[in-house]
């Protein structure tokens, strides 16, 4: 989402301003929400699970390099073998194994025929279920991970995958139970040492930036503040974001603010004034203008109460 023309008045704080490669001329790296489908921005609490065979069998068990700009993905293999590529890393793993692919990472898979397992896709907002910076789940979702599922955890992981698939078949939209079980599934996967993550050094800085954004989103820190803590310049951080995510750091921060705003509007009873305050905006009117500029809609249009026919007086 572009930021051209945003009001100069800032919120509280400040912002400184062996895989087949698809033959594509305009964009050599395809972006998908789900592989093979048109990219679209998902609902704030987007979550999806499917079997590996459901999609991979259609592509002769090979998923060409691509990326997801709106979801983090966990792949769980219960039977078979997979050659896994994530950016500069290439690994071959035997079941039972797993891979967690961070947002924006270029990845692809080559499965042995008839491989069994599941693919879980989760919105960026899912990362907020992690605790502080020491939470292993935060590290796994932002830096990625891959490895063997311990035999002691294998049955639990498989059970959770089957339960998630059953819940999804009953409800079209993610339910609290689905998200809770998805968290239990991610937390059942073994963490990795810092040097064993799936991301190269440049992407590790990007993941560090994402992690800082999650922890300090409501403080509206400047780009320089983030760059300083990552040990890079503003220019370097901008270059990394443009290269990996095709956006600027400020665009990423603003998109994350909008995502959180949508979650609060859709799924809570908070008023628009309360949503603005929760997200660190001292002026609710500015928040409403910011929201409309980013989404093309007033906050009131996305308020759960207004969709149900209610009426709420607010700056939206």
pLDDT tens column, 189-243? 997 654 445 555 556 788 788 878 877 888 999 999 999 988 889 999 999 998 8
pLDDT given at position 36: 79
In tens, the pLDDT along 107-136 reads: 899 999 999 999 999 988 888 888 776 788
Provide the terminal-to-terminal Cα distance of the chain, rounded to the nearest Å.
20
pLDDT above 90: residue 57: yes
Task: Starting at the earlier edge strand, list the strands of the sheet with 72-79.
Answer: 47-51, 116-122, 72-79, 97-101, 145-148
pLDDT given at position 88: 67
More reliable by pLDDT, 230 or 282: 282
Task: Lowest mean pLDDT of 102-106, 167-171, 228-232, name the range.
Answer: 102-106
Range 75-86 average pLDDT: 94
pLDDT above 90: residue 293: yes
Q: Give the pair of three-digit tokens for residue 11.
A: 């919120």
Question: Beta strand 81-86 with 107-111: parallel, antiparallel or unpaired?
Answer: antiparallel
More reliable by pLDDT, 269 or 62: 62
Q: How far is CA 56 from CA 36, 50, 115, 118, in A?
A: 10, 11, 9, 11
Range 22-28 average pLDDT: 37
Pick the CATH number of 201-307 from 3.30.70.270, 3.40.50.10440, 1.10.3660.10, 1.10.10.60: 1.10.10.60
- 221-239 burial, b at 16+ Cβ within 10 Å, e below that, comes to bbbebbbeebebebeebbe
In tens, the pLDDT along 250-259 reads: 999 998 899 8
Other Cβ atoms closer than 10 A to 155: 11
**Average model confidence (pLDDT) for the chain?**
80
Instruction: Indicate the pLDDT class of residue 312, thresholds 50, 70 and 90.
Output: very low
Q: Quick one: angle between helices 136-143 and 201-216, nearest 10?
A: 130
Question: Which is nearest to 198 in space by CA: 138, 132, 146, 250?
Answer: 146
Task: Lowest mean pLDDT of 14-18, 263-267, 299-303, name the range.
Answer: 14-18
pLDDT above 60: residue 307: no
The proportion of the chain whose per-residue pLDDT surpasses 70, expressed as a percent, equals: 79
In the chain, what are the domain boundaries? 47-196, 201-307
pLDDT given at position 173: 66
pLDDT given at position 23: 35
Instruction: Indicate the pLDDT class of residue 171, thresholds 50, 70 and 90.
Output: confident
Instruction: Indicate the pLDDT class of residue 21, thresholds 50, 70 and 90.
Output: very low
pLDDT above 60: residue 172: yes
Q: Based on the number of CB atoms within 10 Å of its own CB, is 173 exposed (0-12), middle (13-18) or buried (19 or more)?
A: exposed
Question: Which is nearest to 131 in space by CA: 190, 181, 183?
Answer: 183
Four-residue CA torsion sign, 98, 199, 19, 90: negative
Q: Give the pair of three-digit tokens for residue 122.
A: 């989760």
pLDDT given at position 4: 30
Q: CATH second-level architecture of 47-196?
A: Sandwich (2.60)
E strands in 57-143: 62-66, 72-79, 81-86, 89-94, 97-101, 107-111, 116-122
Q: Based on the number of CB atoms within 10 Å of its own CB, is 9 exposed (0-12), middle (13-18) or buried (19 or more)?
A: exposed
């Amino acid at each position: 989402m572009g930021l051209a023309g945003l009001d100069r008045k800032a919120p509280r704080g400040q912002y400184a301003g062996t895989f087949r490669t698809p033959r594509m001329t305009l964009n050599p790296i395809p972006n998908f929400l789900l592989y093979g489908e048109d990219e679209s921005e998902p609902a704030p609490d987007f979550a999806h699970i499917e079997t590996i065979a459901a999609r991979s069998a259609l592509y002769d068990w090979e998923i060409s390099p691509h990326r997801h700009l709106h979801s983090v993905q966990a792949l769980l293999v219960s039977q078979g073998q997979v050659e896994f590529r994530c950016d500069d890393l290439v690994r071959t793993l035997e079941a039972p194994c797993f891979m967690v692919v961070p947002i924006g990472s270029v990845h692809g898979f080559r499965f042995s025929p008839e491989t069994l397992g599941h693919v879980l896709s989760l919105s960026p907002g899912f990362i907020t279920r992690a605790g502080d910076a020491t939470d292993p789940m935060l590290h796994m979702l932002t830096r990625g991970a891959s490895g063997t599922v311990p035999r002691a955890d294998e049955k639990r992981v498989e059970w959770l995958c089957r339960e998630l698939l059953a819940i999804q078949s009953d409800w079209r939209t993610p339910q609290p139970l689905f998200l809770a079980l998805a968290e239990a599934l991610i937390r059942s996967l073994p963490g990795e040492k810092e040097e064993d993550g799936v991301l190269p050094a440049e992407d590790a800085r990007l993941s560090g930036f994402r992690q800082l954004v999650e922890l300090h989103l409501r403080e509206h820190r400047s780009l320089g503040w983030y760059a300083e803590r990552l040990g890079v310049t503003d220019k370097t951080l901008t270059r990394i974001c443009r290269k990996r995510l095709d956006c600027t750091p400020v665009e990423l921060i603003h998109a994350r603010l909008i995502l959180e705003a949508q979650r609060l509007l859709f799924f809570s009873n908070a008023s628009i004034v309360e949503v603005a305050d929760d997200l660190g905006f001292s002026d609710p009117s500015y928040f409403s203008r910011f929201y409309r500029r980013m989404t093309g809609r007033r906050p009131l249009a996305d308020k759960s109460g207004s969709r149900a026919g209610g009426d709420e007086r607010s700056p939206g």
